[in-house]
Structure 1
Amino acid sequence: MYKKQVWFYVLFIVSCSLFAQTKQVSLEEIWGGAFRANYMQSLQSLNNGTEYIVQEYDRASAEMKVEIYNYKTGEKVRTLFSSNEMEGLNAFQTFTLSENEDKVLLGNQIQRIFRRSTKGIYHVYNLNSKKLTPVANEVIRSPHFSPDGKKVAFVLNNNLYYKDLASNKTTQVTEDGKINEIINGVTDWVYEEEFSLVRAFDWNKDGSQLAFIRFDETEVPEFSMDMYGTYGNDLYPSQEIFKYPKAGEANAKVSLHIYDVASNKIKAIDLGEYEYIPRLQWTNDAEILSVQTTNRHQNEINLHFVDTENYKSEIVLSEKDEAYVDVDFDLTFLADNSFIWTSEKDGWNHIYHYNADGKLRNQITQGNWEVTNYYGYDADSKRIFYQSTENGSVNRGVYSTKTNGKYKKELAALEGTNSASFSTDFTYFINTYQNVEQPPVYTLHDAKNGNQIRLIENNDELKNKISQYDFSEKEISSIEVNGNELNMWMVKPTDFDASKKYPLFMYQYSGPGSQSVSNTFMGSNDYWFQMLANKGYIVVCVDGRGTGYKGRDFKKITQKELGKFELEDQTEAARILGNKPWIDANRIGIWGWSYGGFMASNAIFQSNDVFSTAIAVAPVTSWRFYDTIYTERYMTTPQENPSGYDNNSPISHVNKLKGKYLLIHGGGDDNVHVQNSMQLIEALIQANKQFDWRIYPDKNHGIYGGNTRLHLYNLMTDFILENL
C-alpha cells in the first residue's frame, strides 16, 4: 500500500510538471508585465567608492528616501536624506548630488518634453544645514550644479540663468530666448534626438565661467501635429508646433558663448567654419574649454580647445572619413589634460590616448573587434576600463588595460553579454550578465582582477517561471549572404518536424550601426516570437550589411544608398532560408519598426517575388521627410543625392505591391512623422493597391500607453495568422 502511494505521488508530480511545461504564453501576459525581470534600479556611487545610494519609496509612510548601501556587503548603512525631514517638499522624483556631496538637487512635477528632455520644479537641499531652497518658482529645464556646489545654472523660457545659493540671488545670463526662435543652454529637437544632447551648457572647474550653445532656429521650418485628446473631454484638437529641420532644409544656426560670472559679460567664440556643435566640455584646466564641431556631411569632426585668457580657439585634433565620423561621449581628460578618445580610423572602434596638444601618444586597444563601451580611467592604477566584442560580435566582455595598451585583464567575459557599472574610484563594479537562456544576473566584482565578491540578483524566479512555458531555444548562428557571414537567430516551433513545411516570419531593424542579433535574454518581442513559433511559424532575424560591431567597412557600405544593400541581404537571406525543405518559400513575411518599417515596406514592394506579407510600424517612407542630422550623415542632402533618396524609397515602388501589407503609425509621432505614412497611403491609393492600415491617435514613436501595446500586438498577430 505504501509503495502504491509513493508511485502515485511520483506520477502526480511528473504529470503536473509536464502539464506546467506546456503552458502557452498570451499577449495579455507579455504586455501585462508577467515576464518582467528584476532589474537593479539606477544607483549612484559615492565619492568614497565603497558605498552607493539608491532612491526608495516607503508606501506605508509615504516617505521618499535616498539610502546608502555598502558595496561589499550589500547592507544598508544609513539614510542620506528623506522627504520626511524636509519642510515644504513632501516628495521628489529625481535627485542629483553636488560633486562634494553636501547638497542635492531634487526634481518634482517632472514632465517629459521629447525623448530625453524634461522640465519640472526643482529645489536644492543642503545636507548639512537641512535647508531647502527653491531653484526657481517656475518650471525649469536642465538644472546643474557648479563643481563647487555653490551655484545652480538652469534654463527658463529658452534663457540661461544661474542661482547663487549663498546669497539666494538669481542672475539672468541671456535675454534673447524665445520659443521657436532662440534657444540658450538647451538643444533643439534634432540635437536632442540625434546627438543625444539636451543640456547645452557647462561650468568650468572653479565655477567662474559658464560655456553655452545658442541656437537661432528662426529659419528652421516648423512642423505641426494635431493632438485629438481624450474622447468626451476635448471638443477641439490642440496643435503641437516645433522646429524640425528635414533633410536638405535649414538647420538652426548654432554659436558658442562663454559667460564670465565676475564681470557678468558674455563672449562669443569664433570656431571657424562648421555646421554643428555636438559636444562641449571643460577640461581639467579651468581656463581651457573643449568643443567638438562637425560639418554638415558629418565626415569631419574637429576637437577645439578654447583658451579663455584670450578666447582663442585652436583645433587640436581632426578626424575625417569618406562616409561619416560618429559623435560619442567618450572624451576623458586626465590630470595633465592629455585625453582619451575613441575612433574607428583603423577600421574598428578603438581607444586612443593623446597629449594635451593633440599629438597621438598611443593606440590603447587594437584588433579586429570593437570597443562598445568606454567606462573610464582610474588615475591610481593607470588603467582604462572598457567593454568590447573580443569574444565575438554578438557577445560583450568587460576588460581593463594600461594606457600603454599592455597588461590587459579579462574582468567579466563569460560568453554572452557582460555590462559593468563601476564605483567612483574603480574599486568595484557591478556586472550584469545575460545570454539567450539566462535572465540578467547581477554580481559585484573586484575591479582589480574581476573576482566575484557576491551575488546580488540572479532572476531565478523568472527563469523558473519561464520553464513552465512551451518555449523553444533561440538559436544564434550565421548565414552566408552575398559574400558575407551575417549574424542570425532563429526560433522554431517546439514540436518542429523537419518533414513538414512552415511559414517564415522575419524580423529586422537594419539601421546603420544597429544590432538585432545579440547573445542577450528575451525582451517583450521575443515572447511574442515564441507565441508565433508555437502557432506554427519559424521566426528569424538577420543582421545584414550596414549594421554594427563588425568593422567600419561592413557598417558604412550603405553610405548614400540607405535601403539598397540592406534589402539585398534580407531578400537573399529569405531566398536561402526558403530553399530549406522545412520552410514554405511561398509564405515568407517580414516586419519592422521605424527603420525596420522602412525596410519591411521596401521588401514587400521591391522583393514581391520573395515576400508575401509585411508589417511596417512607424516607417520612414522617404528620407526626404526625416531630419537633417541623421539623414544627411548617411545620405548627404537630397539636393546632392536625389537618386539615393528616391531609388530606395518605399513611396517610389508602391505600384509593385502584390502581397498583404499592414501599415501602422502613431498620430503624435514627433520623430518619424505620421506624414510618412499618410503620403504612402495616398500613393498606394492612387496606384489602386489594397492594403490595411491603422493610426493610433496622439501616440508617439513608441506607440504605447494604457492598452495600446496590447491592442497593437493583437492587431499584428491577427494579421499574421490570417495572411501568412
Structure 2
Amino acid sequence: MLKKLLSIAFIGAYLPIYAQQGTLTVEKIMRDPKWMGISPSGAFWDVGSNKLFFSWNPEAAETASLYYVTTSNHTPEQASDPERQGVIRQYSYDKSRSRIVFERAGDIYIRELKSGNESQLTKTVSRESNPLFTNDGQYIIFQQGDDLFRLSLSGREWEQLTHFSRGDNMGRRGSGRAGKLNEQDKWLQTDQLELFDVLKVRKRRDSIRTADRENTGEHPLRALDIGDAMLSAQQLSPDGRYLTYLLTKRAEGNRNTIVPNYVTESGYTEDIPGRTKVGNALPVSHAYIYDQQRDTVYEVDTKTIPGIKDLPDYLADYPDRKAKLQGENNDRQVSIGQVSWNESGTAACVVVTSADNKDRWIMRLDAETGTLHLVDRQRDEAWIAGPGIGRSWGTGNIGWLDDTFIYFQSEASGYSHIYTANIRTGEKRQLTEGKWEVSDLQLAADKQYFYFTANKKHPGITHFYRLPIQGGDPVQVTHMDGGSETVLSPDEKWLAIRYSYSNKPWELYLQENKPGAKATKITESLTEEFKAYAWREPEVISFKNRFGDDVYARVYQPANPKPSRPAVVFVHGAGYLQNVHYWWSQYSREYMFHNLLVDKGYTVLDIDYTGSSGYGRDHRTGIYRHMGGKDLSDHVDGVKLLVEKYGVNPKNVGLYGGSYGGFITLMAMFNEPDVFAAGAALRSVTDWAHYNHGYTANILNEPADDPIAYQQSSPIYFADGLKGYLLMCHGMVDVNVHFQDIVRVSQRLIELGKDNWELAVYPVEDHGFVEPSSWTDEYKRILKLFEERLNN
C-alpha cells in the first residue's frame, strides 16, 4: 500500500512539470534560443574528400562548434583543432580539376586532390590573395596589395605583372602624398638633393638602371596612376595581354548620421558613426583597360550603350525637371561589373547597371578598343532585382557555357528564369518558364547540366532540380516537401540538404544526387522541452486582393475562440521577404508567439503582401513609388477574409510587426483606423527620407527627385489619423532604422495632441534584439496590448 501511495505521489509530483512543458508563456518563448535546441548551419563540403562540415551546437555551449560526417559514416563528430585549421572554404581548380590553389593565413598553397599533398607557395609578411591557375596550369596568378603577380610552379620564380601607383610621388621610399609637385614641393626636392649625398647616389643609380634596361631591351613595369580612387576587380585576360580594373571615386559632401550610445562601459555617452541617408551623392565608378602589348591605358566606353540617355517614366509627374534633363542630354551614370573572360580568352563580357537601377545590360567587351556591344538589356521602370539577378558588382548569376554562349538569369518573363545567349549575335533562349522562380543556379563541372533551387511545385515549397543545358523539363532531385537548402558535393555525387517544415526546425540530411534517392537525417537538434509542445502547422491559403492578384497567407485558427472573436495580423519585415511557406520561419519567436495567441483564443493571419519575395516581378515591384499602398491594402483585404470566412469580429482586429512590418503597422493605424483597433510597431521606419540609399532609392527614387513618392509612403505625414491604441518599441542603438525615426514621429503625435499611444525604448538594443530580457519585455507589452484592446 505504501509503495502504491509513493507511486501516486511520484506521478503527481511530475504532472505539473509535464503540464508546464505544454503551456506557452512569453517568458518561456523569449529565452535564449538554446532552450529549443540549435539547428545546424553553414554546411560545406571538404574539397577532395567525402567530408561534410557544418556548424552545430548540440551541447548548448556558449558558441557553436565545427562538426563533420562522411558519406559512409553519418554520425556527427566534432572536428579537432588540426581538422579545423585544415578546412578550405574558398579555392580554385586547375583545368583538369586535379589540383586546387587557395589562400591560408595570407599565403598561397596548392593541394594535389588525389594524394592530398599540400605545398606552400608563398611565405611573406604581406598578404597574398585571390589565387588562380593559368589555363596551361603552369603558373599561379595572385594578388599582393593592389598588384598582380605570377608564380611559376616549376621554378617557383615570382614576376610582378602590374604596378598601380597613387600619383607622381607614390611608390617612392618615404613618399607621403600623391599628385603632381607644386612649386614648394619642387623646391624641397631640389634642396634635399643638394643637402644629402645619399639621395644623389640613389638618384644616379636609378638613372643608370633605367638606362641599362633601355639598352638591353628590358622595360620596367608601367606605373598605372590611380590617384586617390578605390581600386578593385583587377584581373588579366587569359593570354596576359589585357589588364582590366575598376576605379571608384568616393562621393564628396555627404553627411553621415550618428547614433548615440547611452549605456557604455565608460559611463559617457559615445557616438556610433552611422550611414548616410537616401539621396546622398553616390560613388562614381569607371572601368579601365591596360593593353600591355601597346602600352596604353583607356577607359571602357559607355556612351554607345543602348538607352544610356533614357529617363525613367516617373519624371512625367515632374515635367519641368524632365524637360531640364532632356535638354542637358546627359548620359545616365552606370557601374560596370568585373570582366568575365571565356576560357580561351577570345571573348569577354560585362554586366552594366544604371545608377537609377532601371536598366541592366549584358555587354560583350571588345578589349582592344574598349567598346561595348549589346547582348541583353533588361529594363524595369520600377527597379531591377530578383533571384540570381542581384546587384553585387552588378553581376548577378552569369557564366560561360563555352567560348560563344553565356547563361544568365532574368525577370524578362515576369519570373526569374534561366537564359542562354550567343555573345556574338545576341541570340537568346529561355530555358525555364512558368510562374515560379529559379535561385542558387550553378553549372555542373562538365557543363552538361544546370543545378538550381526553385519553388516550382508551390510558392512555399523549394526543391533541388537538374536541367540539361539545352533545356527541357527540370528533374526534381529532392523529395521532402518543405524548405530545402542544398549544397552539392565537389564530385557532384552527394547532396547536403538543410531541411525544415512549418513546425519542425532545420536539420541536416545526406542524399545521393539521384532523383528519388533516400535522404538520411544526420542531426537531431531539438530539446525534449521544445518537443513537449504540439507546435501547430499553419494553414497555407491564397485569396484574391482587390486588384485581382493572388495573395498567399498563413492562418492559425483556435480550437476555442475567445467570446470577443479577436484576430491578430502579423506583418513580416524586410518588405522583400517570404514568410508564407512550408518551412521553419526565420521569425521563430513570432511563430511561437502566434501559437501562444491561438492557445488564448485568437485567430492569427500572416500575409505575404505585395512586395514579398517568391512570387515574381509584378508582386515584387507592386509597391513602387507607394510603400503603404498595395502592401497595406492586402492586409485590409486579409481582414475582410477573416471576418467573412473565419468569423472574426471586425471590431477586434490588431496587428504588429518589426522594421518594414513596423512601418506597415504605423501606416495601418494612421490610414485604416476603422479596420485595426490596436497595433504594435517595432523598430519602425517612420519617414523613408531618413532611411538608407541602397534599399529606398530603388523603390521610391530619391527624395529631391520624387517627393510625391516619399510623402505618400511615410507614416509621419499621416499621424493625425490615429484612433486606436498604438504601442511603439525601438532600440536606442539601432544603426539600421535609427532611434531618431521613432523620436520624430513621437514628437508629431505630441503636437497633434494624441494620447492613445506609448513608446517603449530599449537602451542596449540594435535593430535585431539580442537580450532575452528585451525580447520578453517587448512581447509582454504586445500581449498586454491585445488582451486589453481586442476583447470588447
Q: CA deviation at 1:651?
A: 1.0
The answer (yes or no) to whether the contact 1:37–1:440 under 8 Å persists in 2 is: no
Query: Where do residues 77-116 of structure 1 align in structure 2 (5 Å cutoff)?
Result: 82=82, 96-97=90-91, 99=93, 104-106=102-104
C-alpha distance in 2 between matches for 1:616 and 1:172: 54
Question: Does residue 1:466 correspond to 2:548, yes or no?
Answer: no
C-alpha distance in 2 between matches for 1:465 and 1:666: 30
Give the equivalent residue in structure 2 for 1:561: 626
C-alpha distance in 2 between matches for 1:356 and 1:543: 38
C-alpha distance in 2 between matches for 1:31 and 1:303: 49
Give the equivalent residue in structure 1 for 2:254: 221
The answer (yes or no) to whether the contact 1:294–1:300 under 8 Å persists in 2 is: yes
Give the equivalent residue in structure 2 for 1:446: 512
C-alpha distance in 1 between matches for 2:520 and 2:432: 30
Question: Does residue 1:332 correspond to 2:399, yes or no?
Answer: yes
Residue type at the aligned position of 1:105: E
C-alpha distance in 2 between matches for 1:542 and 1:67: 37
C-alpha distance in 2 between matches for 1:40 and 1:624: 39
Change (3 A) 1:134 1:234: farther
The answer (yes or no) to whether the contact 1:509–1:599 under 8 Å persists in 2 is: no
Query: Where do residues 588-599 of structure 1 align in structure 2 (5 Å cutoff)?
Result: 588-599=653-664
Question: Does residue 1:430 correspond to 2:476, yes or no?
Answer: no
RMSD across aligned positions (CA): 4.3
Q: CA deviation at 1:240?
A: 1.3
**Partner-residue secondary structure (3-state), 2:649:** strand
Q: CA deviation at 1:10?
A: 13
Give the equivalent residue in structure 2 for 1:184: 230
C-alpha distance in 2 between matches for 1:73 and 1:35: 28
Query: Where do residues 342-361 of structure 1 align in structure 2 (5 Å cutoff)?
Result: 342-357=409-424, 359-361=426-428
Give the equivalent residue in structure 2 for 1:252: 283
Query: Where do residues 301-312 of structure 1 align in structure 2 (5 Å cutoff)?
Result: 301-312=360-371
The answer (yes or no) to whether the contact 2:485–2:498 under 8 Å persists in 1 is: yes
Give the unaligned 5+ runs of structure 1.
85-90, 108-121, 187-199
Question: Does residue 1:501 correspond to 2:549, yes or no?
Answer: no
Report sequence identity in percent. Answer: 19
**Partner-residue secondary structure (3-state), 2:457:** coil
Bigger drift between 593-602 and 528-537 goes to 528-537
Flag the structure with higher helix content.
2
Q: CA deviation at 1:629?
A: 3.6
Deviations 1:656-712 (A, max 9, x none): 112222223334434333333232222222212232224444644324368544444
C-alpha distance in 2 between matches for 1:504 and 1:92: 54
Change (3 A) 1:606 1:498: same
Deviations 1:194-227 (A, max 9, x none): xxxxxx5566557887644333233352212144
Query: Where do residues 38-49 of structure 1 align in structure 2 (5 Å cutoff)?
Result: 38-48=38-48
Residue type at the aligned position of 2:166: E
Question: Does residue 1:546 correspond to 2:611, yes or no?
Answer: yes
C-alpha distance in 1 between matches for 2:348 and 2:82: 37
Residue type at the aligned position of 2:674: D
C-alpha distance in 2 between matches for 1:78 and 1:695: 41
Query: Where do residues 135-534 of structure 1 align in structure 2 (5 Å cutoff)?
Result: 136=126, 144-147=130-133, 150=140, 152-153=142-143, 160=146, 173=164, 175=166, 184-185=230-231, 211-219=244-252, 221-228=254-261, 230-240=263-273, 244=276, 246-247=278-279, 249-258=280-289, 267-272=298-303, 273-277=331-335, 279-285=337-343, 286=345, 288-326=347-385, 327-328=389-390, 329-357=396-424, 359-371=426-438, 373-380=439-446, 382-452=448-518, 454-459=520-525, 461-462=526-527, 465-469=529-533, 471-482=535-546, 483-493=548-558, 496-498=559-561, 500-509=563-572, 513-522=576-585, 523-534=588-599
The answer (yes or no) to whether the contact 1:106–1:125 under 8 Å persists in 2 is: yes
Question: Does residue 1:624 correspond to 2:662, yes or no?
Answer: no
C-alpha distance in 1 between matches for 2:158 and 2:430: 48
Give the equivalent residue in structure 1 for 2:27: 27
Residue type at the aligned position of 2:164: V
**Partner-residue secondary structure (3-state), 1:572:** helix
The answer (yes or no) to whether the contact 2:456–2:462 under 8 Å persists in 1 is: yes
Deviations 1:295-345 (A, max 9, x none): 233222111233434433333221123333223232122232521111121
The answer (yes or no) to whether the contact 2:36–2:530 under 8 Å persists in 1 is: no
The answer (yes or no) to whether the contact 2:682–2:730 under 8 Å persists in 1 is: yes
Q: CA deviation at 1:411?
A: 0.6
The answer (yes or no) to whether the contact 2:447–2:469 under 8 Å persists in 1 is: no
The answer (yes or no) to whether the contact 2:287–2:300 under 8 Å persists in 1 is: yes
C-alpha distance in 2 between matches for 1:500 and 1:529: 18
**Partner-residue secondary structure (3-state), 1:251:** coil
Residue type at the aligned position of 1:215: T
The answer (yes or no) to whether the contact 2:76–2:522 under 8 Å persists in 1 is: no
Q: CA deviation at 1:400?
A: 1.1
**Partner-residue secondary structure (3-state), 2:42:** coil
Change (3 A) 1:75 1:99: farther
**Partner-residue secondary structure (3-state), 1:290:** strand
Deviations 1:486-537 (A, max 9, x none): 21112344xx325733322211137654312111125232123223333443
Residue type at the aligned position of 1:282: S
Q: CA deviation at 1:541?
A: 0.6
C-alpha distance in 2 between matches for 1:704 and 1:427: 40
1:646 counterpart (711, 733, 736): 711
- TM normalised by structure 1 equals 0.79
Give the equivalent residue in structure 2 for 1:197: none
Residue type at the aligned position of 1:559: Y
The answer (yes or no) to whether the contact 1:66–1:81 under 8 Å persists in 2 is: no
C-alpha distance in 2 between matches for 1:422 and 1:559: 37
C-alpha distance in 2 between matches for 1:576 and 1:294: 42
Residue type at the aligned position of 2:482: G
Residue type at the aligned position of 1:665: H
Change (3 A) 1:71 1:9: farther
The answer (yes or no) to whether the contact 1:220–1:245 under 8 Å persists in 2 is: no
C-alpha distance in 2 between matches for 1:131 and 1:379: 26
Q: CA deviation at 1:163?
A: 7.0
Residue type at the aligned position of 2:408: W
The answer (yes or no) to whether the contact 1:333–1:340 under 8 Å persists in 2 is: yes
Change (3 A) 1:19 1:154: farther
The answer (yes or no) to whether the contact 1:222–1:241 under 8 Å persists in 2 is: no
Bigger drift between 10-19 and 691-700 goes to 10-19
Q: CA deviation at 1:643?
A: 2.2
C-alpha distance in 2 between matches for 1:219 and 1:381: 45
Change (3 A) 1:287 1:233: farther
The answer (yes or no) to whether the contact 1:499–1:582 under 8 Å persists in 2 is: no
Change (3 A) 1:382 1:718: same
Deviations 1:224-259 (A, max 9, x none): 2144364451435235155x2513x42221222356
C-alpha distance in 1 between matches for 2:157 and 2:630: 61
- TM normalised by structure 2 equals 0.73
C-alpha distance in 2 between matches for 1:146 and 1:484: 49
Change (3 A) 1:268 1:617: farther
Residue type at the aligned position of 1:468: A
Give the equivalent residue in structure 2 for 1:194: none
Bigger drift between 27-36 and 611-620 goes to 27-36
Residue type at the aligned position of 2:742: S
In terms of Rg, which structure is larger? 2
C-alpha distance in 1 between matches for 2:238 and 2:54: 27
